[in-house]
Structures are given as C-alpha cells and as structure tokens.
C-alpha cells in the first residue's frame, strides 16, 4: 500500500463498534454523541471514513467506510461496512 489516509484508531476499533455497539433504534443525535460527526451525508445514510489508500497516485485505490442507514424519522435502521478496491 502507498499513501494511506486514515483515522489512526478507527480501523482497529471498527470490529468492536460493530459487534458491541447497538445502533439500531438510536436517533441521529445519539449516534453523534457516541461516534462524533460523520464524514459525509447522502439521502438517508451517513458515513465515517475508516481507511483510504491512494497508492502512488492522487486517486484512491482502496477505501473502507462505516455506513449508517436511517429511516425518514432519523432513526438508525442499519449498519454496514463498505469496502472498495480499484
């Protein structure tokens, strides 16, 4: 791997967060109180960047994100890890 942009502790904590934190049913404010502000928001989901690897270029070659899905009332309905590799 080349140039890696990440939050140094997020990847190590990710499994514990997924296994031990009970997010389903929490609202947006409760999530923010627990994990802090997300890196992005799109429609009814938010995401936290975990790892982004840029290889030897300016374009990413790998990324891992924690995705939190909400319903229309801003209540968490799902959590998943999304990985992408070029």
Question: How confident is residue 5, by pLDDT bands cut at 50, 70 and 90?
Answer: low
Question: How confident is residue 4, by pLDDT bands cut at 50, 70 and 90?
Answer: low
pLDDT (0 to 100) of residue 17: 82
| All domains in the chain, ordered by first residue | 4-85 (3.30.1450)
Query: What is the average per-residue pLDDT within 60-72?
Result: 94
pLDDT (0 to 100) of residue 50: 92
Query: What is the average per-residue pLDDT within 13-21?
Result: 82
Query: For the segment 26-65, what is each residue's pLDDT rounded down to a tens digit?
Result: 999 999 999 999 999 998 999 999 988 888 888 999 999 9
Residue 29: partners with Cβ closer than 8 Å, 6 or more residues away? none
């Amino acid at each position: 791997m080349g140039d890696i942009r990440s939050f140094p502790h997020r990847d190590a904590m990710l499994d514990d967060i997924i296994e031990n934190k009970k997010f389903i049913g929490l609202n947006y404010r409760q999530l923010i109180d627990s994990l802090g502000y997300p890196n992005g928001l799109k429609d009814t989901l938010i995401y936290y960047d975990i790892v982004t690897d840029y290889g030897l270029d300016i374009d990413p070659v790998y990324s891992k994100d924690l995705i939190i899905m909400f319903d229309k009332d801003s209540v968490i309905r799902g959590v998943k890890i999304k990985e992408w590799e070029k």
